[in-house]
């Protein structure tokens, strides 16, 4: 099943009726959040609950009251001229890690992310400070700072990215104590899912004060992510102006063209296909033995991973698990390269190789008799409740093929510590920081051992995933899989 089919099926499966009235355009726009994770990672958790709050209305008896409450919240934001929204990740020990800060002032936006990343938006123009190049990427003619929303403040601006899915979830509205005061509390949760979203809004203004994402652990709800909304901090227009002296501007079109040229500059080896060629552009190895290969195979369908076009092996006999990568820059590469989009393939040693040992990496491809690529395809494991737990990689065994060598390189030492810079260009959501990537690698290893029916090692790596403080799709799937393993282990 491909990505589009999967999303279409999910939407159909979650169809539900809406109230007769709707919260106008305030909740009809999709917002691409700074904390966005790939849809394919199946985070049908908080995103679903948040969406349900908007499309179905906070469900109480009668539903009209809940819907009216949402209208009041959305309407209250119409009059807000200034707000600062700060997001943090809550670690298992209770400490908090900064995730993002979004500031809004009369149609102007500023987004601050870790590693000093800054995004500004004003009057249809978005400015992105790119620390790697020391430039400000300028894009004009936009409606708003994110993907599909306009420049006004709305409830979606606070809730972040969501698809307008309509799950059948249980929702409640009541009054609660919040930092010593009575507030409106809205909760949305799916009884079959260990996640929920909780919104606290002021009784007198109906303005959201805090939005919590919670996970059920050992029978109790634990806060994993917190977004606070500050309407009192005084902000000045000057703080929403990008520093074009320190970061000289460059048009996005020129920036895109330059980085495409860099990504396809090398030719480390190629093989002819029935249409075009397969060419390896880059090879890197991290300190733990993870191998990164970028290549082009003539693929021109954007934003869809059809499986890996290449495999790798080394002279150490390493077994590798694979990592799903979804490129964000396909359209610009396809438009500027005759060899198609750049495909990043990541091969993770099933056990970290420590200490470092020199190795020779060989990149191979499987070709059918008509020179068509036999791709390493991916699929998904699900439990009886329909929850996705794992990914599986496989070949179509019905096809005849031959293996051809494309590129080979000797590595005396690692070329990168964690991952190469081009990885964060291709998939910035996946390669955002080292701790998230460590979580991804642990989940990939767990999936590999599940394919071997090695439950002990799968269990070991699943626990490495859930130990991470980050609340991601990988952590969600690991929690679901661990729960299923525990259920199967119970005496009948």
Q: 368 and 482: one domain?
A: yes
Last residue of one domain, picked from the residues 247, 276, 293:
247
Q: 229 and 281: one domain?
A: no
β-pair partners for 405? 364
Last residue of one domain, picked from the residues 247, 275, 305:
247
Instruction: Give the pTM.
Output: 0.63
Of 152-156, 267-271, 328-332, 466-470, the poorest mean pLDDT is in: 152-156
Q: 104 and 40: one domain?
A: yes
Q: Find how far residue 191's CA is from the centre of its chain.
A: 24
CA–CA separation, 150 vs 123, rounded Å? Answer: 11
Q: How confident is the model at residue 381 (pLDDT cuts 50, 70, 90)?
A: confident
Q: 100 and 67: one domain?
A: yes
pLDDT at residue 182 tops 90: yes
User: Residues near 176 by Cβ (< 8 Å), separated by ≥ 6?
Assistant: 182, 183, 184, 185, 200
Q: 153 and 275: one domain?
A: no
β-pair partners for 272? 277
Mean pLDDT over residues 434-454, rounded? 92
Q: 52 and 85: one domain?
A: yes
288 close to 342: Cβ distance less than 8 angstroms = no
Q: 130 and 53: one domain?
A: yes
Q: What is the pLDDT of residue 247?
A: 94
Q: 197 and 316: one domain?
A: no
Q: Could you give the number of structural domains in the chain?
A: 2
Last residue of one domain, picked from the residues 189, 214, 247:
247
Q: 273 and 243: one domain?
A: no
Question: Percentage of the chain surpassing pLDDT 70?
Answer: 76
Q: 82 and 228: one domain?
A: yes
Q: Could you report the per-residue pLDDT of 72-122, keeping only the tens digit for each?
A: 666 666 778 899 999 898 877 788 888 889 999 998 999 998 767 789 999
**CATH number for the domain including 28?**
2.50.20.10
pLDDT at residue 69 tops 60: no
Q: Could you report the per-residue pLDDT of 1-38, keeping only the tens digit for each?
A: 333 333 333 333 333 333 333 332 322 232 233 233 33
Phi, psi of 52 (to 5 degrees): -60, -35
pLDDT at residue 352 tops 50: yes
Q: 241 and 269: one domain?
A: no
Q: 147 and 286: one domain?
A: no
* Domain encompassing residue 367: 256-489
- Tell me the pLDDT of the chain averaged across its residues: 78
């Amino acid at each position: 099943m491909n990505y589009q089919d999967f999303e279409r099926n999910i939407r159909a499966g979650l169809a539900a009726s809406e109230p007769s009235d709707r919260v106008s355009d305030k909740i009809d726009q999709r917002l691409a959040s700074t904390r966005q994770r790939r849809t394919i990672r199946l985070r049908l958790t908080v995103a679903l609950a948040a969406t349900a709050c908007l499309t179905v209305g906070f469900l109480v008896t009668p539903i009209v009251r809940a819907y009216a409450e949402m209208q009041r919240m959305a309407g209250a934001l119409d009059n807000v001229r200034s707000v600062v929204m700060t997001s943090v990740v809550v670690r298992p020990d209770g400490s908090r890690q900064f995730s993002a800060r979004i500031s809004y002032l009369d149609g102007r936006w500023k987004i601050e992310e870790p590693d000093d990343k800054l995004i500004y938006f004003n009057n249809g123009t978005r400015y992105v400070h790119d620390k790697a190049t020391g430039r400000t990427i300028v894009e004009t003619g936009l409606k708003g700072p994110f993907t599909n929303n306009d420049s006004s403040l709305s409830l979606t601006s606070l809730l972040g990215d969501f698809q307008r899915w309509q799950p059948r979830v249980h929702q409640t509205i009541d009054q609660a104590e919040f930092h010593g005061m009575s507030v409106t509390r809205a909760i949305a949760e799916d009884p079959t899912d260990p996640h929920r979203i909780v919104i606290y809004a002021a009784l007198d203004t109906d303005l959201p004060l805090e939005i919590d994402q919670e996970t059920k652990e050992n029978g109790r709800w634990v806060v994993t992510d917190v977004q606070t909304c500050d309407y009192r901090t005084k902000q000045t227009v000057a703080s929403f102006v990008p520093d074009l002296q320190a970061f000289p501007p460059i048009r996005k079109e020129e920036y895109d063209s330059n980085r495409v040229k860099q990504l396809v500059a090398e030719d480390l080896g190629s093989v002819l296909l029935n249409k075009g060629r397969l060419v390896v552009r880059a090879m890197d190895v991290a300190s733990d033995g993870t191998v990164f290969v970028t290549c082009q195979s003539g693929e021109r369908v954007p934003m869809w991973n059809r499986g890996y076009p290449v495999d790798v092996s080394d002279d150490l006999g390493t077994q590798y698990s694979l990592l799903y990568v979804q490129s964000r820059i396909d359209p610009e590469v396809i438009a500027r390269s005759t060899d198609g989009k750049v495909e990043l393939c990541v091969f993770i040693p099933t056990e970290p190789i420590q200490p470092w040992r020199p190795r020779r990496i060989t990149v191979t491809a499987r070709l059918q008799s008509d020179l068509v690529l036999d791709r390493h395809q991916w699929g998904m494991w699900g439990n009886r409740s329909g929850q996705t737990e794992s990914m599986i990689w496989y070949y179509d065994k019905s096809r005849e093929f031959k293996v051809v060598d494309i590129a080979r390189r000797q590595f005396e030492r690692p070329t990168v510590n964690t991952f190469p810079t081009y990885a964060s260009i291709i998939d910035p959501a996946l390669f955002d920081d080292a701790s998230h990537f460590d979580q991804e690698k642990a989940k990939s290893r767990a999936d590999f051992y599940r394919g071997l029916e090695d439950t002990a090692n799968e269990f070991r790596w699943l626990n490495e995933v859930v130990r991470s403080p980050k609340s991601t799709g990988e952590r969600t799937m690991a929690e679901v899989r661990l729960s299923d393993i525990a259920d199967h282990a119970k005496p009948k």
